[in-house]
Amino acid sequence: SPNGQNIAFISEREWEADIYTMKTDGSGLTKLTDSQSDEFNPRWSPDGSTILFVSDRDGHSEIYTILTDGSGLEMLTEPQPKE
């Protein structure tokens, strides 16, 4: 995280890769996503309030953002039509 107190990472604990955060001392584990698709490449926003990540939950790899408490999921990109 921008303040250096938390980390964001993926873990495949239930067959799909989900986004988690925790404090750098290993406490405060929080699961942010819970879908049957894979989420990957978590990145902190500059102010530390959200995490951007890639997910294939709609059948295409798209960029999403989520608040650090797991609420406010929003898709930022839209699937491109097939040519």
3-state helix, strand, coil in the chain (%, to 5): 0, 40, 60
**Tens-digit pLDDT profile for residues 52-81:** 999 988 888 899 999 999 999 999 998 766
Residue type, 38: D
Q: What is the mean pLDDT of the chain?
A: 91
How many percent of the chain have pLDDT more than 70? Answer: 95
The pLDDT value recorded for residue 58 is 80
Element (H, E) at 81: none
pTM of the entire predicted model: 0.86
Residues 6+ apart with CB under 8 A from 21: 1, 6, 7, 8, 9, 28, 29, 30, 32, 51, 68
